[in-house]
Chain A
Amino acid sequence: MILYQLAGFLGSGKTTLMIRLGNELAQRGRRVAIIVNEIGEVGIDGDLVSSFGLESIELTEGCICCSLSGSLQSTLKTLADGYKPEYVLLEPTGLALPSRVDKIVRTSLVPVERSVTIALVDAYRVERLIDQSGHFFKRQLDGASVVALNKIDLIARNQLDGIVEMIRELNPDIEIVPISARTGEGVRALLERVRL
């Protein structure tokens, strides 16, 4: 099982990228499981994923990096024992800490051949979000394999270098791949970077 965690703050485009990756893997005939976690009591993204013909498991009533860690581990075990997916696409809530989710996966006793964390950052809103909650934003980048700087279709090209610099101030060593999950721009480069 190869696990891709699509992490990132609320509204950063995780579900849009998830649907794109899910369709890509399905077209290649791969066995894929999608796990979506919502912050509230009601699910929304699972319904959207299903409307694109992809099957998903939705975990609600809490956050998988906090109160729902046991649910995530048991879901992974159930999948590993039954459906036996080659790939798991995991979308935590926009308020989860990816490093904590990764730890929960590692301690699940489920054999994971490779685990990759893609941290999505909303290029359009990044400055305001850092202003509002810089410490939390920084924590969300910790442990990510790569940053997918999303929504580049909504910014002027001459803004890109400044935004990359803002992210580098929070995490100097992380690789940043500019993408638009909506238009598909840069997604091929991201897939190559994460070997998907």
Chain B
Amino acid sequence: LNEENSKLMSGVGSHGLRASLRLAREMSTDEIRNRLEEIIMRIARLASGDGERAIGHIKAFVRMGDGHLKISVVDLDLGTETIDSLEEGATAGSINLMAAIFGLDDDEIEEIMELELGRSRDIEFSIEHHDHEQRREKEVD
């Protein structure tokens, strides 16, 4: 065990990303919430290997216009827990998304998150890519 890095000690990998999002068609706030919950659950299923690996936490904060949505998953059986204050009319916004899973490394989680966001058709995502070399230098620090 590496006593100096609690993340390594825990056996949990994680990744966080920021993306802009845009509706590909007109959708109600209920539809938007349902679509985003489905995406988060797909990430949860894939990353946990359909429950083989324990989920640490998968969570997202979405801003659209003056409204927002927080979606959280800690267990496949419990499903999503959502705080919804979306307002009708907004067609674009942003999402901050984080996933932490036992037994996967950071890059594997990143790949799964990007794959699932890329599959979405009703809501299109444009991920802000960051400098991995810079991230690794910071981790070494």
Which residues of A pack against B, CB within 8 Å? 9-11, 38-45, 47-48, 51, 60-63, 65-67, 94-97, 100, 122, 124-125, 128-129, 132-133, 135-136, 139, 154
Contact (Cβ within 8 A) A94 B17: no
Asked if B60 CB lies within 8 Å of chain A CBs, one says yes
27 A-B pairs with C-beta separation under 8 A: A9-B56, A11-B74, A39-B100, A40-B14, A40-B16, A40-B98, A41-B18, A41-B135, A44-B59, A44-B60, A44-B96, A44-B97, A47-B63, A48-B61, A60-B16, A63-B6, A63-B7, A66-B6, A66-B7, A95-B10, A95-B56, A96-B6, A133-B12, A133-B102, A135-B1, A136-B9, A136-B11
Residues of A within 8 A of B9 (CB): 135-136, 139
Contact (Cβ within 8 A) A47 B5: no
Asked if B57 CB lies within 8 Å of chain A CBs, one says yes
Q: How many pairs of residues, A versus B, come closer than 8 Å at their CB atoms?
A: 104
Asked if B80 CB lies within 8 Å of chain A CBs, one says no
Q: Closest B-chain residue to A122, C-beta based?
A: B74
Given the known interface contacts A11-B74, A139-B9, the answer about A129 and B54 at a Cβ–Cβ threshold of 8 Å is: yes
